[in-house]
Amino acid sequence: MTFQTEIEQPEDSGARGPSRRAVEVVVSLLLIGLAAAVLWDSYGRGAGWDGGPQSGFFPARVGWLFLAGSVFLLAQAFREAPQVLVTWAQLAMVAKVFVPL
Choose among 69, 62, 80: nearest CA to 23.
Answer: 80
Rounded alpha-carbon distances, angstroms, from residue 80 to 25, 77, 88: 12, 6, 21
Q: Cα–Cα distance between 24 and 31 in angstroms, integer?
A: 10
Whole-structure pTM value: 0.74
Tell me the domain boundaries of the chain. 20-97
Q: Tens of pLDDT along the chain (101 residues)?
A: 555 555 555 555 567 889 999 999 999 999 999 999 999 999 988 888 888 888 889 999 999 999 999 999 999 999 988 899 899 999 999 999 999 88
